[in-house]
Amino acid sequence: MIQSSELILNPDGSVYHLNLRPEHIAHDIIFVGDQNRVEKITQFFDSIEHSAQKREFKTQTGIYKGKRLSVVSTGIGPDNIDIVLNELDALVNIDLKTRQPKEKLTSLNIIRIGTSGSLQEDIPVDSFVMSKFGLGLDNMLRSYLIDDVSIAEIEDAFVKHTNWDPKKGKPYVIKCSETLEKLIESDRIFKGITATAGGFYGPQGRVLRLNIQDEELNNKMDNFSFNETKITNLEMETAAIYGLSALLGHNALSLNAIIANRASGTFSEDPYKAVDELIAYTLNKLAEK
């Protein structure tokens, strides 16, 4: 039995942070970072059956073109992903009354919709990027046993290319779900490696008043390539989503609307339109499933 100190439940039987019970979530889930973006997606739903919020974790579940979907805001960073994915998994794969893992496990389909800047000049603003791989620079996933799901070949190539400081912990690489990749892909979507940082400032190469360990890291990342696959963008969630989903047996895919291109110095004239188009594209692909 899983002890109450390990799996914390609220008085109403809901999981601690998400404030949800098993009946509150669909098996097809869209992740967003910002809680205010949840309703930017659910405004397209035909109906909403459940809404809940605790801290930055907002959830709405409803129907879109006959498909039951949930939208969950994760907040920012790999630490929040650790909370959200473990609690969602508990909702479907642990009997919350007996506190025992279920014999028959359920696989969730999780798609993250975000915004990002492109690191490559040939990926223009207003385009869509699919994360073929998540490259974790954050070290969170190293708390788990990940050797069976991580790709050491790419990890080692990246460490060598960047002369990575081992004191920061070894980066990890996880592949996206092939099932969701095939469902979502099209000629409109670029594919590449998404790097996941553990912070916004120093970990992403931003300098305010503090010097950083490697001032050239961003440039090294820009020109890294593995089998002609490049790092397309840098954010704070994808690799953690891919890693925990792979370990727990869920399907995960990360999509980003590109609103800036660092290589060309351009910014979208209408970033909200790009995000809305990615939302509509993703919803319609899920409804067809």
Q: What is the pLDDT of residues 26-47, one digit of tens each?
A: 999 999 999 999 999 999 999 9
- Range name among 13-22, 75-84, 255-264 with the lowest pLDDT average: 255-264
Q: What is the pLDDT of residues 198-234, one digit of tens each?
A: 999 999 988 999 999 999 999 999 999 999 999 999 8
Q: What are the tens digits of pLDDT across the range 95-130?
A: 999 999 999 999 999 999 998 888 888 888 889 999
Q: Helix 238-248 and helix 78-93: axis angle, to 10°? A: 30
Least confident range from 43-47, 69-73, 115-119, 156-160: namely 115-119
DSSP state string for 118-140: ESSTTS-TT-EEEEEEEEE-S-G
pLDDT given for residue 192 in this prediction = 96
Show Cβ contacts of residue 111 under 8 Å, excluding neighbours closer than 6 positions. 28, 29, 30, 31, 180, 184, 252, 253, 254, 255, 282, 286
pTM reported for the whole predicted model: 0.96
Q: Hey, which bits of 124-220 come out as E strands? A: 128-136, 172-175, 189-196
Q: For 163-186, how does the pLDDT look when each residue is reduced to its tens digit (9 = 90+)?
A: 999 999 999 999 999 999 999 999
